[in-house]
Structure 1
Amino acid sequence: MRCLIPILCLILFAPLGLSGQNLLPPIYNYRVFEYNAAGQNWGLSVNAHGELFGANDKGLLHFNGEEWVLNKLPNATIIRSVASVDDKIYTGSYEEFGYWKKNRTGVFEYTSLTQLITDHTFTNEEFWQIIPYGDKIAFRSFSTLYLYEEDSINIINPEFVVTNIAAVDNKILVASKSDRLYELVENKLQPIDTGSDLESFTIISMAPFQDGFIIGTQLNGAFLYRMGELEPFDEKINQLLKQHQLNKILAISSNEIAFGTIKNGIYLYNTKKKSIKNLNRATGLQNNTVLSMAKFDNQIWAGLENGIDRIDIESPISYFTDYSGSLGTTHDLVHTDSITYLGSNTGIYYLNNDFLNFINGSQGHVWDLEIIDNDIMAGHNTATFSLDESRLKKISQIAGGYQFVRVPESSATFLQGTYTGVAKYKRDNDNNWSISEINGIDFPVKQLCFEDARTLWAAHPYKGLFRFKLDENLTSVVEKKEFGSEVIPNIYQVKLYEIKNQIIIQSDGIWYKYDPIIAELSTFDEFKPYNQKSIMYADGEHFWFIDNGASKEITYTDLKGQTISINEGQLSERLVPDMERVIRKNDSIYLLTLSDGFAQINLAKLQRNLANTHIPSPKLSFFKDMEQAHTVRDSAFEISYPNSSDIGMQFSVPSLIKPRYYYELAGPMNKEGYSDHGTLSFQNLPHGEYTMSVSSVSMDNKKSTPTKLVFEIAPPWYLSTLSIMAYLLALVGIILLVRMYNRQKLKKKHETLKIKLEREQDERMAKLEKEKLEKEIRGKQNELARTTMSVAKKNELILELKDLMLVNKDAFPNKSRYRSLTKKLDSSINEDEDWKQFEMNFKELHNDYFENLLKQYPKLTPKDLKLCAYLKMNLSTKEIVPLMAITVRGVEIHRYRLRKKLGIDSSQNLSSFLIKFK
């Protein structure tokens, strides 16, 4: 039983090794579906601008930093080799080699060189290497060398199988299979004395290095040949190369070499430090078979069995990545001596000697790792543990330890925010812990800060900010204050920090500080430039912020003028939202939690790189409109208006990995902004001249010298010069026509007005004539009436005298005198004369009246007409009597008879009828 106890302890506390790897540079994978070609890339070459060219199974692959383009050979054969020389890209394939060159629109066109060969027939040859040296280009198949110079080709026919060639000091070295090494001198092969070490070895790769060159064999490792001596590489690296089958060699610097293998990716070997780093499928490469490699600046391009990878070997940011998924998401980490501890959602791990080890018993979600004196405290989902190297000890059953803070003025008392409130930890002299929970705090607390030894600030994980006064023993809350929306703009997701003995709060992206003298929060002006950024690390002198927006930009500052911004795509993509945390490893090294491991940032190296790195200006790759691609040139582009509805252009900076761009479009329409890619398009721009300025943006947001592009959108046809001239002529014509029209209109208006005036004059004259006539008629009517009435009065008076004389007849003694007087009275009543005068006046007023009556009523007598005339004048019976010299009875009888002749019944007024009759 005694023997079993130590065995059980070893089982319980022994760490589980998960993986072994170094901190590695960033690796960027370009998958087959991204570049849309075949998986195998047999050769890679980079030109002076940093553009990549790949010898792919489907053709020549070109990457300008923004876009992949596949260029196929006329015979569509596999391209086995590629070399960029000046502005030409040489390729070799099956029984074919030649070069590619961009045409005026930026498209690569192929020119074959095999037509220069005479008196030679290919025998199933494929060209696996292209090496420029001096003014020549060497093309290698397994059986022959072809040397191209000034439009001529020399053919070298070795008597052995050629497995590799290399250019060293403008000389061509030629390797034979299972034989020896040769040098090409004046088109003749001369053997190189390397001793017997290379006999029966197959040389598959060679590269210049230091003052000699490296010789790589297929199964027997690598050798360095210099000063006439052949020396094998260190046994440690050679064993790996033998085991995993060396395939390609690339000299990176004077001390560093990249070895590409068939079975295990790339080995980065430092000849000075004897250090080895392995990049393989487990550490980020797409697969382990390396078919080709190329270098540009501090980047390695690797052509793999299935895909292409890009490695930034001098990046100040390196990564530890757990590709197995066992680690999970890293939430916190600490570093002690040479060991880094990681707390993740799956447990606690430690990294020692490049191996990641799991600590048994720690499985579960880890929120917090803190170094407390010589112990590491782990706030866990289920409890709180102390950690001594790899030994785990549970010290508290309280679930969900978020954060440890030391109580001011105390070396052995700590508080911890938990799922259920705040826990108090006190350690005695025997290193034993006593734990209790503070009364009065019964909600989750994620962040804690002390204002003083008795005043505690606490932030809820989701909603709320609180300030507590504690009793002397830190056991209970004696005063509580909650800050609501009237004090801070947003009570959700409040963040709390203690910086330089000040309580600092972030709410809704805005920074505030608490003033204990006036007991109020006010904006924290020192952090104003960092609004909308969260703190990942702060020690009073060094600060790390992360942008809360989509960019996830990381900013380091000392608040004394030194500020560095980091925009690194891979880093931003792997951060854990709201769980970003930085720890300081030493003066210049910082560690950052990631979703699948952690990153190490070498701040000093980053500062050097940014200070010494030239930011290249973007290069115009193409310019096209709706219908066509334009010639890539420095002069201005002109675009017809119909083709201007969609304008596209592409700028690229191949030397930068995933560069950002800043562009400004100036012209009739102005636009500006940042872009994560160099392909820009604009729709429906107004016509006119534009200047496009594009700058590449470095990691720290500095801009390069802008590349400027001038283009002009021609006006639409209806705004062209001829059209404008036509418009002017038309305008002049219209003006003349308008003037003529206005003149005609004015003339017509004058005529119309004249006619109107004449008409009005005539109407006025007619009216005056009418009024005059009416006046005359009224006068005649009045005269007729007066005359008629005068006659009537006269006749009435005569009749009265006659009647009076008749009554007094007997009073006249002289009868003859009586008769004479009576005759005179009768003669005074001259009815015919009176009627003629009346008739004449009546006819002047009522022309054709009698004719119309007779025409309609022909039976009317002259006496009837006379009565009709009197009735038309609206004379009464009494007034008619003296005019007709008859009695009233006689007039009424005559009226009755007239009514009969006119056919008028008794209901109709006779006078009204005759008055209305025309």
Structure 2
Amino acid sequence: MRSLFLILFLFSFNAIAQNAEGLPFTRYFSTQDYEGGIQNWSITQNNEGLIYVANNFGLLEYDANSWNRYVVPGGTKMRDVTIGPGGEIYVAIQGDFGYIIPSNPEGERYISLADSLPEKYRNFDEAWRIFHDGENLYFCTFRQIFLFNGKGQLIDVIEPTYPPENFHFVNNRLFVNELEYGLTYLDNGKLKLFEKGEFFKGKAVTSIIPIANNHLLIFTNSHGVYTWDGTKYKIWNENNHEIFSSASVNTAIRLSSGNMAIGTQNKGLYITDSNGEILFYLNKGNGLNNRTVLSLFEDIYGNLWVGHNNGISVIELTVPFTLISEQSNLPGTGYDGMAVDDIIYLGTNNGLYSKNITDPTIQNYTFVENSRGQVYSIKEIDDYLLMGHHLGTFLINDRKVEQISDVLGAWTFVELPDHPEYIICGTYKGLLLFKREGKSLKFVRKLKGFDESSRVMEVDDSGYIWMTHGYKGVYRLHIHDELDSVQVKFYGIEQGLPSNYLVNVWKINGRLIFSTETTIYSYNEKTDRFAPDEYFSEFFDENSNISFMEQDPMGNIYYLSSTEIGVLLRQSNGTFEKNTKIFNRLKGLLNDDLQNLSILNSNQVLYGAKEGFIMYTKQGGDPSDASFDALIRKVYNTSTLKDSVIYSGYYYNGENLLSDIPEEKIPEYHYSKNSIKFEYSAPFYQGSKYTRYQYKLENYDEDWSSWSETNVKEYTNLREGSYTFKVRAINIYDQISEVDSYSFVIVAPWYRTTLAYIGGAFLLLFIIASTFYFVDSRHKKEKRLMELTQEREINQKESQLRSSEEMLEKLKSEKLKAEVESKNQELATSTMHLLNKNSFINSIKHNISSIIKRSKNQEVKKELNKIMVNIEKNIASDDDWEHFAIHFDQVHGDFTKRLKDNYPKLTPQEMKLSAYLRMNLSTKEIAHLLNISVRGVEIARYRLRKKLTLERSENLQEFILKY
């Protein structure tokens, strides 16, 4: 449950005395930022922390994340806004007044109360102010004052004798400023002249503030400021009376600190103490973007909101920081500063600037002649104020500088304990020696033996100078007695340091400590090595690379690191307590080149910033302890093409605007609208861009999300069920907000409702019972059918048994026939081989016969004739082809017989060719079998085609195979 009221904390903010430097942090919103008109007449805040502004274009709403604008019918100028007891936003506009209910999902709802007035009162020009005392509402116009009760009913009409100039509500009493008469007040429905109120006849009273003992502080537009002590009026502050008289005061309020904020027509804003002494003066170009102040409001966090003639400013008065920048005539990035006597010196990349801090009439800084360029350091050694500069070394005296060395790049300075009349200066390329001569210093020489850049140096109790280099390591330097050269010893990883990078040396509590990439180290003289410093290890983790440390006169240690900015506050028992929260406000503002902080005194620290300097002033209050709320601003249904708003941050029950939806009114959404988007914010206005958020959807997310700057979360295709979306925020000070929540229900589709499940269960039981009955009936039928089938099968099996015997005989016969056919095929193959053999033997016989005919040797002829006889005996008879043809026909279905019958003119040679083609032999193989050439086979194929009367398109081989 969101708290009804945020805690209104009061800060003891009185540390900004007259000698304070700089201007408070300010943020300006232009008309482009809030998308409204130029003039902003009134500002207020509701219980949840939202800011509302009465603007020329309507009502502006700001939640620290974005601006929203409510437009009333007619779009007329809005003059005043106030929050009613029930959360309604009452507004006064041109020709109307009423209230806005910002809870309608389709848009705000405006209810006019002026429309309920009697006809004779309705035609007024301007409703200027609204007040409420908890029970009644006062709507003030320049003709009448209308009194309404909390139910919106008119209960009285007051008509001033003279046209009112202004209205004020003080201590539950309505004051009316009538120029022709004086200052009056409302008493029992009548306006009466206030005690000695004629004093203000002809004076425009712009603000009345109650002060102690029922006294009043009364501001006029052009006649100054007065106090009323119950008997007389007197000038508030004699010294500043002329200033306030000529400033054209438009408005004034008392701040929670007890100080006063005074807004003027053309001189900006004054912040004074309770006695009228000016603490701050902000004007255009000096803290403000517009010089005209129309309205002032202090929010629950102590921020001052300023409504301008063009734009809106918010001034962070409660943070202990002020900014010294170009608006104070201090251009450039801040590097170092020093306060000496009544003068403060500040060094930037543009030069040295100074200011007398005891003279309240001096607003801006003055450039110190001959100092133009990069200033690195300002250091006081005894009576000498030294400046390290890119162009060399300078001596500062009475807001003037004197160059005492032109050696480029003077970084810093240290004293020599053993030689108090000498001072060492670290430069870009080694060390310089200076000697005191009366009120001045004289450059002596550059020391030999060391040429490293020496920006960070400290001297230990033994007189050694320890110099740390940003990326090389640590050097221990000893100046020879002749003061002309340096003895150097290097320390690095081998001597215990974690690395040679980012090492710096500081003197804290009278001893030297060394910050490194990881943690803080100290030097052990006995072992001549470095080791982690046990005392400081409890304050800094291994990721805290300290870039600067300095101790103030009270023993507090201020530091800058890569992860945080903070201070170790010294306690009464000598221990330290770490404080970082308030310094988070400096995130993104400090100089990230050569980081620096300067202790000005026991309660003021100066930080080098990207734009000038930031002054920290210790004070009693701490805004980092403020509580704040996270707010769910809008909820959208994104299931359709166009997102629709289903919740806008509040629930209106007809009487009050509630920040939470009652449990009995938790919305339910159809399953078809199960995609939901949430927008949320946290109205904490200091460093709002660093606010981060965490969310969780109960019944969906197991745990909180990680922290993120994103302020929108969408869930799609949620299943039916009850959900609660929760969001919380963490601000720049690491404070976690209260949790805001939004509960809703996704209704199940009809087929997943309880009724559907019950119906489904009954249907399932019916199906099971029907199935069981059907199966049982079918089983009985199948059983009877099975019995009949068994009888029939027995008969069939007996019949099959008889036929099986016959089948068995048939199978045996077929098997024998298959075996015969197989053997016939084998015989045909053997015959084919025999035919080939005979062909081969005939070929040999022919060759031998040729040899016999050619040979003249009778003995050779005789032997060859014997061989011929043996060949004749062993060669097969001529009927080989007939045997082959018989077996061939058995294999190929009487091929030769059918072919001979159909083509009787085929020769035996052509019949053989056809058989060989049927066997799918190649041309070469056929040539061998026919004992002719390959060309002869081709001629034979041609002749065979003619006798078979084949067309040109028909293939001989395919014809034979298919025949």
TM-score (norm 2): 0.68
2:130 paired with 1:114: no
Pairs within 5 Å for 1:328-727: 328-352=332-356, 353=358, 354=360, 355=362, 356-427=365-436, 432-450=441-459, 453=462, 455-460=464-469, 466-468=475-477, 470-481=479-490, 483=492, 494-499=503-508, 504-508=513-517, 511-523=520-532, 526-527=536-537, 528-529=540-541, 531-539=543-551, 541-548=555-562, 553-554=565-566, 556=568, 560=575, 562-566=577-581, 571-605=586-620, 610=624, 613-626=625-638, 627-631=643-647, 632=649, 633-634=660-661, 647-654=677-684, 658=688, 660-665=691-696, 667-668=700-701, 670=703, 672-676=705-709, 679-682=711-714, 692-697=725-730, 700-710=733-743
Per the alignment, do residues 385 and 158 of structure 1 end up closer, same or farther by CA in structure 2, a change over 3 Å counting?
same
**What amino acid maps onto 1:300 in structure 2?**
L
**What amino acid maps onto 1:113 in structure 2?**
L
Q: Deviations over 1:535-573 (max 9, x none)?
A: 433339533333526xx6545555945121136676334
Equivalent residues, number: 751
Distance between the aligned counterparts of 2:425 and 2:749, measured in 1?
73
Per the alignment, do residues 322 and 717 of structure 1 end up closer, same or farther by CA in structure 2, a change over 3 Å counting?
farther
Q: Deviations over 1:381-406 (max 9, x none)?
A: 11212223324333322221112223
**Deviation at 1:534?**
2.8
Q: 2:385 touches 2:395 (CA, 8 Å); kept in 1?
A: yes
Q: Which residue of 1 aligns with 2:47?
A: 48
2:230 paired with 1:227: yes
**What amino acid maps onto 1:475 in structure 2?**
D
**Deviation at 1:592?**
1.8
Q: Which residue of 2 aligns with 1:126?
A: 126
Pairs within 5 Å for 1:155-234: 155-194=157-196, 196-210=198-212, 211-234=214-237
SS in 2 for 1:120: helix
Pairs within 5 Å for 1:711-860: 770-771=814-815
**What amino acid maps onto 2:346 in structure 1?**
L
Per the alignment, do residues 502 and 682 of structure 1 end up closer, same or farther by CA in structure 2, a change over 3 Å counting?
farther
SS in 1 for 2:38: coil
SS in 1 for 2:161: coil
The one of the two structures with greater contact order (alpha-carbon pairs below 8 A, sep at least 6) is 2
Q: Which residue of 2 aligns with 1:152?
A: 153
Per the alignment, do residues 421 and 310 of structure 1 end up closer, same or farther by CA in structure 2, a change over 3 Å counting?
same
Distance between the aligned counterparts of 1:727 and 1:438, measured in 2?
99
**Deviation at 1:76?**
0.8
Per the alignment, do residues 682 and 253 of structure 1 end up closer, same or farther by CA in structure 2, a change over 3 Å counting?
closer
SS in 1 for 2:203: coil
**Deviation at 1:323?**
1.2
SS in 1 for 2:601: coil
Q: 2:296 touches 2:307 (CA, 8 Å); kept in 1?
A: yes
Q: Deviations over 1:249-304 (max 9, x none)?
A: 21225843222110111222223474443222233122110111122332322110
Q: Which residue of 2 aligns with 1:59?
A: 58
Distance between the aligned counterparts of 1:704 and 1:414, measured in 2?
54
Q: Deviations over 1:755-801 (max 9, x none)?
A: xxx9x999999876554567899999xxxxxxxxxxxxxxxxxxxxx
**What amino acid maps onto 1:701 in structure 2?**
D
**Deviation at 1:724?**
9.4
**What amino acid maps onto 1:351 in structure 2?**
K
Match of 1:296 among 284, 289, 299: 299
Per the alignment, do residues 249 and 106 of structure 1 end up closer, same or farther by CA in structure 2, a change over 3 Å counting?
farther
Distance between the aligned counterparts of 1:270 and 1:778, measured in 2?
130
Distance between the aligned counterparts of 2:334 and 2:727, measured in 1?
38
Deviation larger for 458-467 or 402-411: 458-467
Distance between the aligned counterparts of 2:806 and 2:738, measured in 1?
90
Distance between the aligned counterparts of 1:371 and 1:164, measured in 2?
57
**What amino acid maps onto 1:75 in structure 2?**
G
**Deviation at 1:43?**
1.6
**What amino acid maps onto 1:215 in structure 2?**
I
Pairs within 5 Å for 1:904-915: none
SS in 2 for 1:73: coil
**Deviation at 1:109?**
1.7
**What amino acid maps onto 2:152 in structure 1?**
D
SS in 2 for 1:239: helix
Q: Which residue of 2 aligns with 1:78?
A: 77
2:259 paired with 1:247: no
SS in 2 for 1:583: strand
Q: Which residue of 1 aligns with 2:6?
A: none
Per the alignment, do residues 725 and 391 of structure 1 end up closer, same or farther by CA in structure 2, a change over 3 Å counting?
same
Q: Deviations over 1:496-542 (max 9, x none)?
A: 44545766545545555454544445555634426244343333953
**Deviation at 1:587?**
2.9
Q: 1:537 touches 1:583 (CA, 8 Å); kept in 2?
A: no
**What amino acid maps onto 1:321 in structure 2?**
S
Per the alignment, do residues 577 and 646 of structure 1 end up closer, same or farther by CA in structure 2, a change over 3 Å counting?
farther
**What amino acid maps onto 2:308 in structure 1?**
L
Q: Deviations over 1:848-872 (max 9, x none)?
A: x99x9899899xxxxxxxxxxxxxx
SS in 2 for 1:48: coil
Distance between the aligned counterparts of 1:727 and 1:475, measured in 2?
103
Kindly name which structure, 1 or 2, has the bigger radius of gyration based on alpha carbons: 1
Q: Which residue of 2 aligns with 1:885?
A: none
Per the alignment, do residues 532 and 646 of structure 1 end up closer, same or farther by CA in structure 2, a change over 3 Å counting?
farther
Distance between the aligned counterparts of 2:822 and 2:375, measured in 1?
126
**What amino acid maps onto 2:560 in structure 1?**
I
TM-score (norm 1): 0.72
**Deviation at 1:455?**
4.6
SS in 2 for 1:332: strand
Distance between the aligned counterparts of 1:764 and 1:683, measured in 2?
79
Q: Deviations over 1:339-390 (max 9, x none)?
A: 3221112222223135323322222221001110122111111121222332
**What amino acid maps onto 1:395 in structure 2?**
I
Distance between the aligned counterparts of 1:254 and 1:775, measured in 2?
124
**Deviation at 1:244?**
1.4
Distance between the aligned counterparts of 2:22 and 2:705, measured in 1?
39
SS in 2 for 1:402: strand
**Aligned-pair identity (%):** 21
**Deviation at 1:74?**
1.1
Distance between the aligned counterparts of 2:83 and 2:636, measured in 1?
26
Distance between the aligned counterparts of 2:550 and 2:83, measured in 1?
49
**Deviation at 1:712?**
6.5
Distance between the aligned counterparts of 2:681 and 2:115, measured in 1?
36
User: Structure 1: where are the runs of 5+ without partners?
Assistant: 1-18, 741-757, 781-841, 859-918
SS in 1 for 2:620: helix
SS in 1 for 2:43: strand
**What amino acid maps onto 2:691 in structure 1?**
R
Per the alignment, do residues 374 and 121 of structure 1 end up closer, same or farther by CA in structure 2, a change over 3 Å counting?
same
**Deviation at 1:459?**
3.7
Q: 1:167 touches 1:208 (CA, 8 Å); kept in 2?
A: no
Deviation larger for 361-370 or 770-779: 770-779
Per the alignment, do residues 579 and 56 of structure 1 end up closer, same or farther by CA in structure 2, a change over 3 Å counting?
same
